Amino acid sequence: MVVSDAMSTPVITVNVDTTAYDVANIMKDNNIGCVVVVEKDSKPLGIVTERDLVINIVAKNLKPKDVLIKDIMTTKLVVISPTATLMDAAKKMTEKNVKRLPVVEGDKLLGIITVSDITKISPKIFEIMSEMSKMGGELPYRGDEYIEGICEVCGSQGPVRLVNGRYICDNCIDEL
């Protein structure tokens, strides 16, 4: 399954001159945890998360109406291609310690994929793999072999293995 199958669209965006106050309200009104900062031509420049607002505004006791997003946004944007696999997205999130990846093709913002998006779709992936196993189809791994995935018991991401038809991390295997 590829990123474009699970990404959220449209992406809520703001420009660099938006205030932190306005961004906080946009996030609240749209029930989202981030916005992507874009240029006039919609080229992504950065991202602002709830954490950015807490660390850069609240913790410093600044007035949100006085702070522009360009001054607190994360500019080292970690992005992913719409044709990348969900596993690629999960690995990139883990490696870069991020929970959200703007989906970009060229300079165009197409969507955003989050840990929540991957978690929502992972049970469907496990169902497909389980059905393939029952039908004798080839799976990328079997038995005691580990892969990177999402535990069907606790939802954590990391090494999982097939145990009684479910993909489970070692912590949950020990508890069973």
Cβ distance 128 to 100 under 8 Å? no
To the question of whether residue 34 is assigned a binding role by annotation, the answer is no
To the question of whether residue 151 is assigned a binding role by annotation, the answer is yes
DSSP conformational letter for 68: B
Which residue pairs, CB below 8 angstroms and at least 24 apart, start in 166-174?
Answer: 166/126, 166/130, 167/126, 167/129
Cβ distance 47 to 37 under 8 Å? yes
Residue 123, preceding bond cis, omega within 30 degrees? no
Neighbours of 36 (CB within 10 A): 22
To the question of whether residue 172 is assigned a binding role by annotation, the answer is yes
Annotated binding site for Zn(2+): 151, 154, 169, 172
Annotated binding site for Fe cation: 151, 154, 169, 172
Annotated binding site: 151, 154, 169, 172
